[in-house]
Structure 1
Amino acid sequence: MKSGGMTNAVETPSGKGSGDENFPVGSFLLPAQLRPHVARYYAFARTIDDIADNPDLAPEEKIRRLDGFARALETGEGGPDYAKALSLRASMAETGVPFRHGTDLTIAFKQDAVKLRYRDWDDLMGYCNNSAAPVGRYLVDLHGEGTRCYPASDALCNALQVLNHLQDCQKDYRALDRVYLPEPWLIEAGGAIADLEGSRSTPALRRVIDRCLEGTAELVRQARPLPDLFRSRRFAMEAAFIWRIADRLLRELQRRDPVAERVQLTKGQFAAAGLWGVALVLRTPRPRSFQGG
């Protein structure tokens, strides 16, 4: 990647941006003074995710680069090739957010470099606890909301991660030979990994998708109280917006086949989720201990 006339030999940008995500990244609902910090966090996460998903890099090279980002974030070492990590480090130092919410992501993406199959739901949740939950925890800590919000936040972020895995199940298999659907579940259902090559889900693959959706539905249920926990009205609106997106996407995947088509929300569904989130929070009192928006 070229930046300021110099070639960055570490990053491998995919071209994806915040518009490619299932959820709003640093939307206008968040307090304006915090949005630049969210942007730095997203830039870091997008960069290391692109490295992990690059099909042209060997696993050991992915790990070397991801270790460099983790080291730069923790210690400030690394130079211009790790500018995204150094920028996030400065942001976290300013806001007091723990570095681990960034370094945990590198743990997950190093796992992506070498782990291509998953055993069961607990195995998948172990991955999500590093790849998705830190994002919510970062936002919770950035807003000063406290660790009491972590369980519901983790549930929402992990639900979004699994929904994304299901959306991309065929693409991940074809591009990276990476399958997040538990392989033993597929074998138990009478199927095989090769079922992901078809033009639509086989009955066995559909049963596994539905089984993952059952677990995801429980995560969405656990996440439902999250907006009510936040003292910040704007952050609560953002959380309600994202929860509604997860709930709608869950329902879409329950009735549609992610192998046969790209399952995602329409612009209208996305906008409706935002309006629902705003309306929900406006009619819900905030905890009295909070001062400000």
Structure 2
Amino acid sequence: MTTSADVASGKGATDENFPVASHLIAARHRPAVMAFYDFVRAADDVADHATLTPDAKLAILDQMEASLLGRTDTEPVARPLRTVLAERKLSPRHALDLLAAFRLDCTKPRTADWADLLHYCSLSAMPVGRYVLDVHGESEATWPASDAVCAALQIINHIQDCGKDFRDLDRVYIPDDALAKAGVPVEALGAPEASPALRGLLRDLAQRTMLLLDDGAVLPSQVRDFRLSLETAIIIGLARRLTTTLETHDPLSQKVHHSKAAFAGIAVISALGAAAGRLVRPAHRPTTATRHS
């Protein structure tokens, strides 16, 4: 029987664009966050495997769900998360949503429009933020701002990796209607560099992504946990810089990632800004609605 461990990519938390359970997160919460990350990372590796058939991928994802819910124990990576959920009396719904997203990756290689993309993000990205908020005991009223930020992070990854996703997996998250409107054939994603039309399309998507970050900008002030507030501020700061870079760079031919120095600088500035803001405006109950269309 093939398991997720058999097809692991070797990627880990340090390979991600954004911090995962950094030392800003309280020590008592980091194992819970990492248990979720490790489970999701394993499922993502299954969905992105280059040679497994869709049916084989779906079979492993089904095993992972069964193990998470305690019906079997064939997937060891599910055990730490299953334990955390039981100890903290948390629902498995966020992890199950992620599994639903990875099943879509196996069966639905194209994205119709912006609404379709955001629906995918509602399964693939928003549950991550919601889980972290639940672990910290935050109010569900923080979810709309978190959802906007998490959707933006996911779309940033999609834009960065649009060429690789198409070439390696024949998977396209760039909306079909946007490609058609720009007169860009999907095959253009496999080119060594983006055409002017594709550059314009990706720039437009980056600008729409920045609006999501604008919607989520209130999150650090809504979160009651001070350390998590700083973490969310840093993530938003890093996302803004990457989005700005994507507006001017070609992800097909140019590397669009933070340098270590830039990462550190943005992190410090974002954390200090959030800390100063909380001194002036203590954490408050959220009231802001977000634009998801």
Check 1:288–1:121 CA distance in 2 against 1; reply closer, same or farther (3 A cut): closer
Whole-angstrom distance in 2 between the partners of 1:35 and 1:16: 19
**What amino acid sits opposite 2:68 in the alignment?**
L
Say if 2:206 and 2:244, in contact at 8 Å, map to a contact too: no
- The alignment status of 1:60 with 2:55, answered yes or no, reads yes
Tell whether 2:13 aligns with 1:15: no
Q: Which runs of 5+ in 1 are unaligned?
A: 1-6
Equivalent of 1:190 in 174, 183, 207:
183
Q: Which position in structure 1 is the counterpart of 2:227?
A: 234
4+ long deviations beyond 3 Å: 7-10, 285-289
Greater relative contact order (Cα < 8 A, sep 6+)? 2
- Distance in 1 (CA, whole Å) between partners of 2:137 and 2:178 is 40
Q: Alpha-carbon deviation of 1:8?
A: 6.6
**Alignment match of 2:260 (pick from 259, 262, 267):** 267
Cα separation, 1, equivalents of 2:52 and 2:241 = 35
Residue identity over aligned pairs, in percent, reads 40
**Which of residues 16, 28, 31 in structure 2 aligns to 1:33?**
28
TM-score between both structures, scaled by the size of structure 2? 0.92
After TM superposition, the structure 1 = structure 2 runs for residues 1-293 of structure 1, keeping only pairs within 5 Å, are 9-11=3-5, 12-74=7-69, 76-79=70-73, 81-283=74-276, 284-285=278-279, 286-287=282-283
Q: CA RMSD in A?
A: 1.5
Q: What CA distance in whole angstroms lies between the structure 1 residues aligned with 2:11 and 2:244?
A: 25
**Residue pair 1:104, 1:131 contacting (<8 A) in 2 also:** yes
State the aligned residue count.
281
Q: Structure 1 residue 100: deviation in Å? A: 0.5
Structure 2, gaps ≥5 residues long: 286-293
Most deviating of 63-72 and 228-237 = 63-72
Counterpart residue number, 2:289: none
Contact preservation (8 Å) 1:160, 1:246:
yes
Q: Following the alignment from structure 1 to structure 2, what is the Cα–Cα distance between the partners of residues 281 and 92?
A: 30
Determine the C-alpha separation between the residues in 2 that align with 1:167 and 1:106. Answer: 23
Deviation string 1:230-262 (CA, Å, 9 cap, x unpaired) is 111100000001010110100111111101112
